[in-house]
Amino acid sequence: MIKEQLRQQILTQLQTDLALQTAAAKLAHDEAIDEESRPQNKYDTHSQEAAYLAAGQAKLVQEITESIGLYQGLNLAAFPADAPIALGALVEAGDQWYLIGPRSGGLEVKLPDGRTVLVITPASPLGRQLMGRRVGEMVAPAGRTMQPIRQVV
């Protein structure tokens, strides 16, 4: 099933991102607690900046971890031809394919035939246009003219 292959590619990308962000968070944390990060005077904000960075990196790790869980549990059942578009749909609109996912909009993954699929979320402008629509209706991806919805898988 194509959507299952897409899920695995998305999970692989997210796990790679998680490993990178986890390492970055650890480095930021180590910098924040390092002896050399202690303020030298009342105007020295290095330790405070390092702590903010560590907190931001930790938040990214948490968000990626949540995204992985959401994609692992995402229902990727096939959509009947007349069903409205919903979360988990693989949609062809114009000459582009979109997967409506719960998070991580902007990821690009490849179909086995080489076509690119862009992950979008229901909260994105195009996601809001697509949700509830059906094959044959028109949408306007950002910066493009109206495009027909050709397939929903």
8, 11, 23, 149 from 57: Cα distances, Å: 25, 20, 9, 38
pTM passes above 0.95:
no
Write down the domain spans for the chain.
Answer: 2-72, 90-152
What pLDDT shows up at residue 28?
Answer: 85
Q: Which amino acid is at 26?
A: K
2-28: pLDDT as tens digits: 899 999 999 999 999 999 999 999 998
* Among the listed residues 95, 88, 68, the one whose alpha carbon sits nearest the alpha carbon of residue 131: 88
41-78: pLDDT as tens digits: 777 677 778 888 989 999 999 999 999 999 999 999 99
Q: Which amino acid is at 113?
A: D
144 or 76: which leads in pLDDT: 76
Mention every residue, 6+ apart, whose C-beta is less than 8 A from residue 41: none
